Amino acid sequence: MSSLLNALIVLAIPAIVGAQAPIAVGTAKLQTPATIAQLDMGKLKGEPFRAGWSPDGRQFYLQTVEGPFHKPKAIRHYVIDGTDGKVQNAEGEPAWFAAFWDLKSNKTSPDASSVQIGVDTESRIEKTTSTPTGGDLARGGAGGTEGTSSTDAIAAANNSQAVAVYTMKLHGQTIGEFVNSVLVPGMTFAWAPKGSQAIVYSEVKGGKLVLMDNTGKRQDLDGTKDALFPMWSTDGTQLAWLQKDGKKKFALKVAQVR
């Protein structure tokens, strides 16, 4: 077995432990990411809509939609092997996914009911129809009322118009912004496992991942950009995410954190 495969196995199969210790945000560092898989949405079809990481760390799940997010024409399901990156079609969501997504995308911290994400709504004049942003991956309407995909809208002509903007905020920080789109919790943030007392989110401009604890203390995770769908391992020591990697392409990344 190659040394690269060995490294991927170490990264992609987290240990399952009992109680989690709080993440020390002030000293947390992200190790060099490994690329688990390259995802070509031109071949897989649709736009990423949900993603998850199995409790045993051996499998990732990707859900894509064709058409607008609020009224998709088709929903597709894929599972990705955590060691060799092989992508396979699936009949639906894995049994473990619902619990994973509920924790990841919840409005409230799993450690404190008082720590909650707020949503602000406003009307804004934009020069393009815009996409949900957790980074400036695109400016164009995945899930918007016009029905265009985020990739289609990258090349859209600049036309000023009033659009609805939904902004998710926590401790005064913007952890997700959805312009002319339905709001998709979990696309731009992920609560860490219970006991970790932290959240990771993608900055609106640039898509860098930021780690923040339940008091609002923050730490940029250097070496990340254009990130969406951050995901924690069960033991809270690893992060995975999708990184924009060219037109209609994403790389599935995994890295040790702490």
Mean pLDDT, range 41-53, rounded to an integer? 95
Integer Cα distance of 191 and 199 in angstroms: 4
- Alpha carbon 1 to chain centroid distance? 31
- Written as six digits, the tokens of 100 are 């994973």
Closest CA to 4 of 62, 85, 88: 85
Mean pLDDT, range 169-198, rounded to an integer? 95
Name the β-bridge partners of 191.
Answer: 199
Kindly tell me if the per-residue pLDDT of 9 is higher than 90.
no
Kindly tell me if the per-residue pLDDT of 120 is higher than 80.
yes
Per the listing, tokens 């919790």 go with 185
Q: What residues contact residue 223 under an 8 Å CB cut-off, 6+ apart?
A: 30, 32, 33
Confidence class of residue 160 from pLDDT cuts 50, 70 and 90?
A: confident
Identify the pLDDT of residue 180: 85
Domain that holds residue 232: 3-108+115-256
Task: Compute and round to an integer the Cα radius of gyration of the chain.
Answer: 17
Per the listing, tokens 């031109």 go with 42
Core vs surface per residue 116-140: b (16+ CB within 10 A) or e = ebeeeeeeeebebbbbbbbbebbbb
Identify the pLDDT of residue 10: 42
Closest CA to 52 of 83, 90, 94: 94
Helix (H) or strand (E) holding 255: strand 249-256
Mean pLDDT, range 240-251, rounded to an integer? 94
Give me the number of domains the chain comprises: 1
**pTM of the shown model:** 0.82
Report CA dihedral (131, 136, 138, 143) to the nearest 10 degrees.
-20
As a 3-state breakdown, the chain gives helix, strand, coil percent values, each rounded to 5, of 10, 40, 50
